[in-house]
Amino acid sequence: MNEILKISLPSEMVDAIESRVKAGGYASTSDVLQEAVELLLQRESDDELRLVSIRSKIAGSLGDGSADISMDEMDDWLEKLAEENRH
């Protein structure tokens, strides 16, 4: 079921929408906005999947002792990194 929305957009966005309809890329303003919302929803879904993957990798690495380094080693590494970035 379609619903009617009343929205306000900056004139630049309205011009962009109208130009795409006039160019024949879309049949209507509604079609442009529907695709924009679909792309937004897809991007949010993709972002969430990436976060789940990153969190999983972090959780896995926290239990993996192979990457453990001492505080002294970390301090040395950070000092070296800082020195390299000063030049």
Q: Where do the domains of the chain lie?
A: 10-62
Residue 43: count other Cβ atoms within 10 Å of its Cβ.
Answer: 10
Dihedral, CA of residue 53, residue 59, residue 65 and residue 66, to nearest 10: 10
The reported pLDDT for the residue numbered 41 is: 97
What pTM was computed for the model? 0.64
Cα(81)–Cα(68) distance, rounded to whole angstroms? 19
Q: How confident is the model at residue 15 (pLDDT cuts 50, 70, 90)?
A: very high
Query: What pLDDT does residue 65 have?
Result: 67
pLDDT in tens, 19-33: 999 999 999 999 999
Q: What is the pLDDT of residues 37-56, one digit of tens each?
A: 999 999 999 999 999 999 88
